[in-house]
Chains A and B, each alone.
Chain A
Amino acid sequence: MNNKREFDSSVTKQIDAWKKKFPKEKPESSIIMSLRFIQDHYGWLSDKHLDMLADYLDLAPIRVYEVASFYSMYHRKPVGKYVLGICGSISCMLRGSEPLLHHLETKLDIKLGDTTKDGLFTLKEVECLASCTKAPAMVVNGTQYVEDLTPESLDKLVDNLRQGEQL
């Protein structure tokens, strides 16, 4: 009967702290960040996670699904350890982001949107990162910027990460 799963306490602690930023009677305000805490902890957002969050915040599940499917930083499928998001918007495009993307596809031997077999990398194209003056730019795992990219700097980054170095 009791098959209700619960979040790791480190996650609920984060959610509870974030909830304090909003009026008490507005638990839905914390959906957006809670989903990120969950994603950061579990790697991606499964349907089960969404239901659990709805339950935790005492909201209708559809309210959580709506948000989770709207914002682009959420992973609704399992992803690699490093999600490489190359910016494809105009300033980066003018500085050659497209050939860079192809370079990465070859280097990682995957297509855009896919994850390498070793589960290390997922390749994504993202929209403008506000790094326009340091184009082409990329964001790793959503928040770590790598800028002024060249094929060489990308190769080095990938190789380093493959060898287990930190970003």
Chain B
Amino acid sequence: MSRIEEKITLFIDDQRIECTPGTTIIEAADSVGIYIPRFCYHEKLSVVASCRMCLVEVEKAPKTLPACATPVANDMHVYTRSQKARQSQKAVMEFLLINHPLDCPICDQGGECELQDIAMGYGEGVSKFTKDKRVVYDENLGPLVATDMTRCIHCTRCVRFGTEIAGIEELGALKRGNHMNIGTYLKKGLKSELSGNVIDICPVGALTSKPYRFHGRSWGFSQHVSVSPHDCVGSNTYIHSINNGNNLDIMRVVPRKNDNVNETWLSDRDRFSYEGIQHKKRLTRPLVKKNGQWKEVSWAHVVSYIADCLKQVTDSKGGQKIAALAHPSSTCEEFYLLQKLFRQLGSNNLDFRLKESDFKDQYQINYTTNLSGSFEDIEQSRCITLIGANTRNDQPMLNHRIRKAVLSGADCIRIDSHMSPMNFKTTYDFLTPHDEWSSNLAQLLHAVLNIKKQPVPKSIQPHKPTDDITKLAKTICKHKSGYIFVGKHVMHHENASSMRAIIQAIAKETNHTITFVSEGANTIGGAKMGMLPYLGETIGLDKEAIFKKPMSILWLHQLDPEHDMTHYAEIKNKLEKSFVISCNAYDSDELRSYADVIIPACTFAEMSGTFINLLGQQQRFHAALPPLGDSKAGWKIIAAIAQTMQLNSFNYPHSQAVVDEFNGNHFDFNYQENVLPETIANGNGHHSWVSFDHPFNVDAITRHAKALQEVAKDDDWTVRINSRVAKYYGINHDGAATLRFEAKNTKVFVVIDELVADKTIIVGKEVATLLPKNCKIELESNHDK
């Protein structure tokens, strides 16, 4: 249906403007590039009209009016630079500077301070104010955001950001009048995953970046288009770097506006991870292990050495004895060339599903399905079901859209083994013990089929829905459409295949769209580029199978098995027995203990590349820095090896040529109809452990980012259980404990958390690396002795 939009005509500084009713003067002015000074106004926040900087003259109005809050009217004449307007603006500017320290030379905001800019254009120069300035006490807001509250001009953007966007009400306006100040009151640090955005929205230097503090001045920066490599949203960014003599240093990462992706926001992970890029643990030289000794070698040497190894093995044993695993945040170029190399060598042993272990249904689930439409569409949804998906932790900008939907009335249902607090109110939270996922999902399907008056398949029949589950099913069925987001707590589960099959059946029955919110930046890219074992002429080994027997050659691409894979305790032994070529950016003792060849690879910041996000958009980015030391782009390394081996068509002048090739070359996914499992097990009633990664540990870059790690490190040795599980172990309060498994033990810190499901033990990253699959755990408090 087309509606003829009513239009209003007005004149700003005699320029004729057409806009829709309800537009404010500032929006109309912005739309034609007329700048009206402002502080409290921010296009993404509610309008408070309190700073009064945007006062303009409106014909017939006795007073000057705030452009940010005054709606346009037909035939309105607005003057933004008339004498009357300027008088008002100057007055406000003078008032603002009364209590503002004039310390621009030492302020981090210097050069990009809205107050400084506007003061130049609208101020009086010297203030008549000769009194004492307000004294304001500073607050420590944690490792990410630095404060200097004497500079605050009380615009309340940060407060509104907290309430309206982050959904975390932490900052507020305290006291009143001239004593008003902005703070958290009880000196609590900021706990939002989006907290860094206050740095961008604060118009002055009151809230600045702690890692960036005193490192640079914006006027010396060069700006590079980039894309965040940590999640499947692919937030658009700029990397700002500076030339420090010989080196380009990254100074900071800021959001690049894209209303369809991250709007003007950035998650803390995406903003502060850059600290990991120039980490001292970065690999800068190719290394080869000879007789147990590591030796630095030249590129020419390492390339021909690898080529020789590959040739020897494939010549003697065929392609079956070689395999490649890549991190899901690898670029399309890397995925594509890696599988191309291995397939030409006769191997289909390719995978990026590093933490998954159940692939029985791999022909039934489409790893390349992306969300159709845009992220904005999610805001319109009426029902969103999160199954094992902690979007707030793992995809903060996707979560932001879900939050908007919920704020406008959508139902949100969560099913998970740990409900970490959300920044919006969910309709139902259903906690399932780690061991009872399949059965609970089967009950949900059962309830849905009952509601829809459909026959219940035999395998589902024994799983009679509880009242809670029926309630949940009713809510989902109430909505004719909706989103089901399936997250990593399902994907990583030992029974993932049955769980996915059931969820797909639920989605089909309810007509809700199912989306696997994938890990890393480029899971969809990995699938589309063919980095899966079943896309060749024969079917190769999946990640689980690869670790069944030692490989003659195992290529690890941008991944650290200790943290990027599960059950390291078990795979370590296989790694040691294989010939491991690690194409990696970071050095570590652990890496040197199992690897045989180490090739220094660039991070995303030092090369151009492509990620495909959850919407299926190919997002290109460019190098912001030259490669560190002798490191090289992953795709170039692979191409060089292939060329040395004289394989077919690996001659790419630049990465765009790789993109052009993969865009013309689609893999054939012959997906099969979803089949429900024949039996669905009930839980075995035992306690089982599971590792839910901290969002700041998702890849090597974040694991090397200093400020992020200050936040994340508390979780490393933590074990979370609810009070019933605690009681079972005789623990009655948070504190140090000993965790025993298979006759070994380790010190941990127990947190009693009622948001953990029964019979479930959630362990931190370091604990997880020690524990064998399904091992039995004992916990004992260290306090009560």
Q: Do A and B touch (CB < 8 Å)?
A: yes
Interface residues of A (CB under 8 A from B): 1, 47, 51, 60-63, 65-66, 69-70
Q: Are B172 and A63 in contact, CB atoms less than 8 angstroms apart? A: yes
Q: Which residues of A contact B186 (CB under 8 A)?
A: 47, 51, 61, 65
Contact of A62 among B169, B733, B734 (CB under 8 A): B169
Interface string of B167-192 (1 = CB under 8 A from A): 01111111110000000111000000
Q: Which residues of A contact B752 (CB under 8 A)?
A: 1
* Cα of A113 to Cα of B34 in the assembled complex, Å: 52
B610 close to chain A: CB less than 8 A:
no
Would you give 11 A-B contacts (Cβ < 8 Å), ordered by A? A1-B723, A1-B734, A1-B752, A60-B169, A61-B186, A65-B172, A65-B185, A65-B186, A69-B176, A69-B185, A70-B176
CB distance from B189 to the nearest CB of A (A): 13
CB closest chain-B residue, reference A63: B169
With A1-B734, A60-B169, A62-B169 given, can you name 20 additional A-B contacts, CB distance below 8 Å? A1-B723, A1-B732, A1-B752, A47-B186, A51-B186, A60-B170, A61-B185, A61-B186, A62-B171, A62-B184, A63-B172, A65-B172, A65-B185, A65-B186, A66-B173, A66-B174, A69-B176, A69-B185, A70-B175, A70-B176
* Cα of A142 to Cα of B732 in the assembled complex, Å: 45
Q: Are A65 and B174 in contact, CB atoms less than 8 angstroms apart? A: yes
* Cα of A65 to Cα of B185 in the assembled complex, Å: 7
Q: Are A62 and B185 in contact, CB atoms less than 8 angstroms apart? A: yes
* Cα of A65 to Cα of B169 in the assembled complex, Å: 11
CB closest chain-A residue, reference B731: A1
Q: Which residues of B contact A69 (CB under 8 A)?
A: 174-176, 185
CB closest chain-A residue, reference B752: A1
CB closest chain-A residue, reference B181: A69
Q: Which residues of B contact A62 (CB under 8 A)?
A: 169-172, 184-185
- Interface of chain B residues 721 through 744 with chain A (CB within 8 A): 723, 732-734
* Cα of A47 to Cα of B174 in the assembled complex, Å: 14
Closest 3 CB pairs of A and B: A60-B169, A65-B185, A62-B172
Q: Are B175 and A1 in contact, CB atoms less than 8 angstroms apart? A: no
Interface residues of B (CB under 8 A from A): 168-176, 184-186, 723, 732-734, 752
Q: Which residues of B contact A1 (CB under 8 A)?
A: 723, 732-734, 752
Q: Specify the main secondary structure of chain A where it touches its partner.
A: helix
* Cα of A1 to Cα of B726 in the assembled complex, Å: 12
* Cα of A63 to Cα of B163 in the assembled complex, Å: 10
Q: Which residues of B contact A65 (CB under 8 A)?
A: 172, 174, 185-186
* Cα of A62 to Cα of B160 in the assembled complex, Å: 13
* Cα of A65 to Cα of B174 in the assembled complex, Å: 7
CB distance from A115 to the nearest CB of B (A): 21
Q: Which residues of B contact A47 (CB under 8 A)?
A: 186
* Cα of A61 to Cα of B171 in the assembled complex, Å: 10
CB distance from A163 to the nearest CB of B (A): 38
Q: Are B172 and A66 in contact, CB atoms less than 8 angstroms apart? A: yes
Q: Which residues of A contact B185 (CB under 8 A)?
A: 61-62, 65-66, 69
* Cα of A51 to Cα of B752 in the assembled complex, Å: 21
Q: Which residues of B contact A66 (CB under 8 A)?
A: 172-174, 185
CB closest chain-B residue, reference A58: B425
CB distance from B192 to the nearest CB of A (A): 12
Q: Which residues of B contact A60 (CB under 8 A)?
A: 168-170
* Cα of A66 to Cα of B183 in the assembled complex, Å: 10
Q: Which residues of B contact A51 (CB under 8 A)?
A: 186
* Cα of A51 to Cα of B184 in the assembled complex, Å: 13
Taking each of A62, A63, A70, which has the highest tally of chain B beta carbons within 10 Å of its own beta carbon? A62
CB closest chain-A residue, reference B167: A60
* Cα of A63 to Cα of B186 in the assembled complex, Å: 12
* Cα of A66 to Cα of B159 in the assembled complex, Å: 11
CB distance from B758 to the nearest CB of A (A): 17
CB distance from B422 to the nearest CB of A (A): 14
Q: Which residues of B contact A63 (CB under 8 A)?
A: 169, 172
Q: Which residues of A contact B723 (CB under 8 A)?
A: 1
* Cα of A66 to Cα of B185 in the assembled complex, Å: 8
Q: Which residues of B contact A70 (CB under 8 A)?
A: 175-176
* Cα of A63 to Cα of B172 in the assembled complex, Å: 7
CB distance from B231 to the nearest CB of A (A): 27
* Cα of A61 to Cα of B162 in the assembled complex, Å: 13
Q: Which residues of A contact B184 (CB under 8 A)?
A: 62
* Cα of A60 to Cα of B172 in the assembled complex, Å: 10
CB closest chain-B residue, reference A59: B169
CB closest chain-A residue, reference B751: A1
CB distance from B367 to the nearest CB of A (A): 40
* Cα of A130 to Cα of B11 in the assembled complex, Å: 48
* Cα of A4 to Cα of B85 in the assembled complex, Å: 55
CB closest chain-B residue, reference A62: B172
* Cα of A116 to Cα of B734 in the assembled complex, Å: 43
CB distance from B73 to the nearest CB of A (A): 33
CB distance from A22 to the nearest CB of B (A): 19
* Cα of A98 to Cα of B184 in the assembled complex, Å: 37
CB distance from A124 to the nearest CB of B (A): 16
* Cα of A63 to Cα of B168 in the assembled complex, Å: 11
Q: Which residues of A contact B169 (CB under 8 A)?
A: 60, 62-63
CB closest chain-A residue, reference B179: A69
* Cα of A65 to Cα of B188 in the assembled complex, Å: 13
CB distance from B165 to the nearest CB of A (A): 14
CB distance from B275 to the nearest CB of A (A): 29
* Cα of A70 to Cα of B173 in the assembled complex, Å: 9
* Cα of A1 to Cα of B727 in the assembled complex, Å: 12
Taking each of A1, A47, A60, which has the highest tally of chain B beta carbons within 10 Å of its own beta carbon? A1
* Cα of A60 to Cα of B169 in the assembled complex, Å: 6
CB distance from A52 to the nearest CB of B (A): 13
CB closest chain-B residue, reference A72: B176
* Cα of A47 to Cα of B185 in the assembled complex, Å: 9
CB distance from A29 to the nearest CB of B (A): 16
* Cα of A70 to Cα of B184 in the assembled complex, Å: 15
* Cα of A146 to Cα of B530 in the assembled complex, Å: 86
CB distance from B775 to the nearest CB of A (A): 27
* Cα of A66 to Cα of B173 in the assembled complex, Å: 6
Taking each of B169, B723, B752, which has the highest tally of chain A beta carbons within 10 Å of its own beta carbon? B169
CB closest chain-A residue, reference B173: A66
CB closest chain-A residue, reference B176: A70
* Cα of A3 to Cα of B175 in the assembled complex, Å: 29
Q: Which residues of A contact B175 (CB under 8 A)?
A: 69-70
* Cα of A88 to Cα of B172 in the assembled complex, Å: 30
CB distance from B720 to the nearest CB of A (A): 13
CB closest chain-B residue, reference A70: B176
CB distance from B536 to the nearest CB of A (A): 54
* Cα of A2 to Cα of B332 in the assembled complex, Å: 51
CB distance from B150 to the nearest CB of A (A): 19
CB closest chain-A residue, reference B733: A1
Q: Which residues of A contact B172 (CB under 8 A)?
A: 62-63, 65-66
CB distance from B725 to the nearest CB of A (A): 13
* Cα of A80 to Cα of B684 in the assembled complex, Å: 63
* Cα of A1 to Cα of B169 in the assembled complex, Å: 25
* Cα of A69 to Cα of B732 in the assembled complex, Å: 37
CB distance from A19 to the nearest CB of B (A): 19
* Cα of A61 to Cα of B733 in the assembled complex, Å: 24
Q: Which residues of A contact B734 (CB under 8 A)?
A: 1
* Cα of A62 to Cα of B168 in the assembled complex, Å: 10
* Cα of A63 to Cα of B185 in the assembled complex, Å: 10
* Cα of A1 to Cα of B175 in the assembled complex, Å: 33
CB distance from B171 to the nearest CB of A (A): 7
* Cα of A1 to Cα of B184 in the assembled complex, Å: 25
CB distance from A64 to the nearest CB of B (A): 9
CB closest chain-A residue, reference B425: A58
* Cα of A47 to Cα of B187 in the assembled complex, Å: 12
CB distance from B183 to the nearest CB of A (A): 9
Q: Which residues of A contact B170 (CB under 8 A)?
A: 60, 62
CB distance from A114 to the nearest CB of B (A): 20
CB closest chain-A residue, reference B732: A1
Taking each of B171, B172, B175, B186, which has the highest tally of chain A beta carbons within 10 Å of its own beta carbon? B172
* Cα of A70 to Cα of B186 in the assembled complex, Å: 16
* Cα of A50 to Cα of B659 in the assembled complex, Å: 58
